[in-house]
Amino acid sequence: MSQSTSKARIRKAVFPVAGLGTRFLPATKAVPKEMLTVVDRPVIQHVVDEARAAGIEHFIFVTGRNKGAIEDHFDIQYELDRTLRDRNKIKELQLLEIDLPGAGQTSFTRQQSPLGLGHAVWCAREIVGNEPFALLLPDMLHHGDAPCLKGMIDSFDRHQGNIVAVYEVPDNETHQYGIVGIEQKGGDLGITQMVEKPAKGTAPSNLAISGRYILKPEIFDILATQERGSGGEIQLTDAMITLAKSQEFYAHLFDGDIYDTGMKIGFLTANLALGLAHPELAAPLRAAIKRMGL
């Protein structure tokens, strides 16, 4: 079968992790914001786990200066392994092994200047190559019974179009996100409109882009010449608007909870919610909350 008639498969995922984390200072002065822990693992591990659960085979990190800890986290730490083995801490060893992508399954490239999300994605073009790919914004933790990216890949297998995950936000918050307009399209939701951070009172809906995408490689050609948009940055949403003129875009309404761990309140809420969902920690955490008289 030729390339054009065979069904494409999503094998690669891009994680933009170059952001400075200014909303979370001083915690992020020396530690990448993606390495802050939610319950017992770094934020970035939660998001990589979501991608692995969806069948992703190659993990592409767009990093920046002072983000070396992320690269180290996805490598074997020989001294640590040796010490755990010597002390017969087999459970801990196994935990480290489970989390680790296989040899050759990670790539790291750098976004040299903070020019925006669109520019960060464009920095991954050579590693992604000419195939559709997943994009996951690590700040946004998606927590639910059905993992978000898995659901998106299932729907991509049906229609082979671009997909943007969305969730409902309060009307007074729409100016903080990319917002989409939708319509029913067969059994799926088609996107009719996209706008990055609309001015208050002008949003086409309250469906916000949640930070999970499946995109076709033609997005890279558009990003190459994309002008700066909202906030003076090269915006991915603006490039998607151009791509939507020639390709289909679908919305995936995520059925679960989303926490913006790049913000203090989102980070704290994520720790509480995932702690209360943790098999070993739920009961003692509930007891601790009760002792606080809440």
Q: Does 140 bind ligand G1P (CB under 6 A)?
A: yes
Member of 135, 137, 219, 239 binding ligand G1P (CB under 6 A): 137
- Smallest separation (angstroms) from ligand G1P to the CB of 116: 8
Residue 219 parent element (H or E)? helix 218-224
Q: Does 240 bind ligand G1P (CB under 6 A)?
A: no
Q: Does 24 bind ligand G1P (CB under 6 A)?
A: no
Residue 114: Cβ within 10 Å count = 12
How close are the terminal C-alpha atoms of the chain, in Å? 62
**Tokens 């002390």 identify what position?**
87
- Smallest separation (angstroms) from ligand G1P to the CB of 15: 13
Angle, vertex CA 238, rays to CA 58 and CA 16, nearest 5: 30
Closest CB to ligand G1P among residues 10, 140: 140
Candidates 161, 124, 96, 135; CA nearest to 15 is: 135
Q: Does 177 bind ligand G1P (CB under 6 A)?
A: yes
| The one-letter amino acid at 258 | I
Pairing of strands 37-38, 106-110: unpaired
Q: What residue number has its CB nearest to ligand G1P? A: 178
Task: Choose one: 7-15, 97-105, 232-240, 248-256; the region binding ligand G1P (CB under 6 A).
Answer: 232-240
Member of 18, 43, 60, 117 binding ligand G1P (CB under 6 A): 117
- Smallest separation (angstroms) from ligand G1P to the CB of 283: 32
**Tokens 């990589």 identify what position?**
48
Buried b (16+ CB within 10 A) or exposed e, 194-226: bbbbbeeeebebbbbbbbbbbbbebbbebbeeb
Closest CB to ligand G1P among residues 28, 84: 28
Q: Does 267 bind ligand G1P (CB under 6 A)?
A: no
Tell me 13's DSSP state.
Answer: E
Closest CB to ligand G1P among residues 10, 137: 137
For binding to ligand G1P (CB under 6 A), which residues are involved? Answer: 117, 137, 140, 177-178, 196, 208-209, 211, 235-237
